Amino acid sequence: MKHQETAQEIIKAVGGTNNINSVYHCVTRLRFDLKDNEKVDNGSLKKLDKVMGTNISGDQFQVIIGNDVAKVFDAMVKENPAIQQSTEKKEPKSDKKQNVVLKIFETIAGVFAPMLPAITAAGMLKGLLALFVSVGWMSAGTDTYRILSAIGDGVFHYLPLLIAVSAARKFGSNPFVAIALGTALMYPDMTKLLDGSQTVGFLGIPVTAVSYASSVIPILLAVWLMSYVEKWIDRVIPAALKLLLVPLITLLVMVPVTLIAIGPLGTFVGSGLSGGINWLLNEGGLIAGIVLGGAMALIIMTGMHYALVPIILSNIATLGFDKFLPLTFISNMGQAGATLGVFFRAKDKKLKTVALSTSFTALMGVTEPAMYGVNMKYKKPFAAAMIGSAVGGGFALAFGAKAYVLAGNGGLPGLPSLIGQTFWYSFGGMILAFIVGAIMSTIFGIKEEEGDAEALAQFSPGASTAPAKVTSNDAATVNVDDMGDPTPTSDAVAVAPMTGKSIPLKEVNDPTFGDELMGKGVAFVPTVGELVSPVTGTIMNVFKTKHAIVIRSDNGMELLIHVGINTVKLRGQYFDAHVATGARVQAGDKLLTFELAEIAKEYDITTAMVVTNTADYKQVLPVKLGEITMGEDVLKAEI
């Protein structure tokens, strides 16, 4: 699927352009601010080739793309420029109570994520310069070094200006006025005035001596407050005077307020947060490394690691190092090792290829393909990755491992950020995480699936899969290509297609069905190896491996019946089909027979019956759960 097609499908799945307040992207994810997250069609998103998964952090809805995220984003805003992050007033969210802490984390992440390309580029350059000096390739006193150093240091020195722009966009205020606020705080004469050598006051009110260079929290709080001040002033100033007076009054109010109150408060808050986390990292040592290292993948999944960027930057600016960053490298190595373990254990050649390639990309610092495409999919490798990361994190923090710059890449390309006195402790933690993750993943093993979800994608009405061989079929047939795609005309009831026990669909041990990605329905644990038609209608598809069948009832309900989990790998063995694609059937007509005992020796025989056009109905509900006999009413769909 081309990037343009993917972009349009994503927009459609998140509720259309009318449901999007704004969108931007980080290294691997599209980050949506939606009017209503309930309108998202997760099932459709997860079926897209380039979508690895989705996540909600606070109110932010994230679509995980991986390496191609920038291309998908560019294609998205090219045709729909209005959806890109803007400063326009957003429509209110739903009235549901929101977790305050998660809301704060989401806000901080929304401010810092767009800045990361500049910050990481500067950080990488600073790391490389440190490497070049340490090995004697460059002298710190040369003009070349000073110019390159200015590129790296300049971003961090004037960091408040970058934050001002991004925060203004996030809070809906004028970014240029926000920059003007930041430049006033960092003006050379202001810096000299606030160096602490003298008492400073404004209109008789004392001003606390604070350095704003490289600061984070003060400007963030200042622009947040400015967004309210600016909007209030804009409401009371006549339209003819807005251009002149709104920015003027905003600055005349906000600069003194920031110097007198917001700046000192922000510095105090920033120092407190940094001090608390640094205390945990310093005093917790081995235990802190084990807990945080093991949990790092979960922290990254929720996007909460972005909330720590201000603290990381503050540590590097004031202390010259940060102890949290090495854990991100170690977590990535754990994911890479666990995926390599999947490569060793997998039998399917395609899975081995995917595992090996995603292990390499994780080593390079991009973990989403490994994490979402392999480790989380098979569950046990994800646990192995967390164990490896816990071991590596414990080792690293036990010896006080540090990062000295923010390089923005948590893989091998980002190693320059770790160069310093504790480099080998950080690197040792990474190696341990990789090796332990690989060993544990190999030991745990996986339960392979042979792309059953891909096979199910062919179960659309009129699909051109080859019909199964029919042992007997006296029913009339129709051309399914001529049937179109009718809208259901009335409520529909399906009878039990087999004898056994009916259970909720969510109890099926397969995410394709258990997570209702194909639609709602009911499942069965059969006691007899016979499947009959649950409705009167037309056979739309008999899969060539004969383990699944699609039927459309005369009143428009479309049903997929899938016998067993992963039984596609039997390639038709133990199954016999008694109908062909296009056959007309009555409720109760025999469709399939199968050797239940033989199949159950190796596979879960749980059978799912799913209404694939669930969206056409108001609700789809099981009528009876528990012991059931073939032909009893079992499922109802109401329009």
- Say if residues 312 and 324 touch (Cβ distance below 8 Å): yes
Q: Which residues contact 205 (CB under 8 A, 6 or more apart)?
A: 256, 260
Q: Which residues pair with 495 in a beta bridge?
A: 633
- Residue identified by tokens 């259901």 is 488
- Say if residues 381 and 444 touch (Cβ distance below 8 Å): yes
26 is catalytic: yes
Residues 577 and 608: their CA atoms lie apart, in Å, by: 17
Residue type, 269: V
Reading the block at residue 496, the tokens are 């039990």
- Residue identified by tokens 């809805």 is 61
End-to-end alpha carbon distance in the chain: 33
- Residue identified by tokens 């235990």 is 287
Residues 350 and 352: their CA atoms lie apart, in Å, by: 5
Residues in the chain: 639
Question: Helix, strand, or coil here: 539?
Answer: strand
Residues 196 and 211: their CA atoms lie apart, in Å, by: 9
CA-based angle 516:522:525, to the nearest 5?
120
> Closest Cα partner for 475 from 582, 619, 370, 607?
582
- Say if residues 297 and 379 touch (Cβ distance below 8 Å): no
- Residue identified by tokens 């069609």 is 41
Q: DSSP string covering 485-546, please?
A: -PPP-S-EEEE-SSSEEEEEGGGSSSHHHHTTSS--EEEEEESSSEEE-SSSEEEEEE-TTS
Reading the block at residue 9, the tokens are 């499908």
Residues 410 and 396: their CA atoms lie apart, in Å, by: 15
From the candidates 25, 305, 547, 562, give the one annotated as an active-site residue: 562
Ramachandran assignment for 584, one of left (phi > 0), alpha (psi -120 to 50 degrees), beta (any other): beta
**What's the distance, CA 2 to chain centroid?**
21
From the candidates 3, 26, 547, 578, give the one annotated as an active-site residue: 26
> Closest Cα partner for 120 from 430, 403, 519, 345?
403
Residues 369 and 385: their CA atoms lie apart, in Å, by: 14
Catalytic residue positions?
A: 26, 562
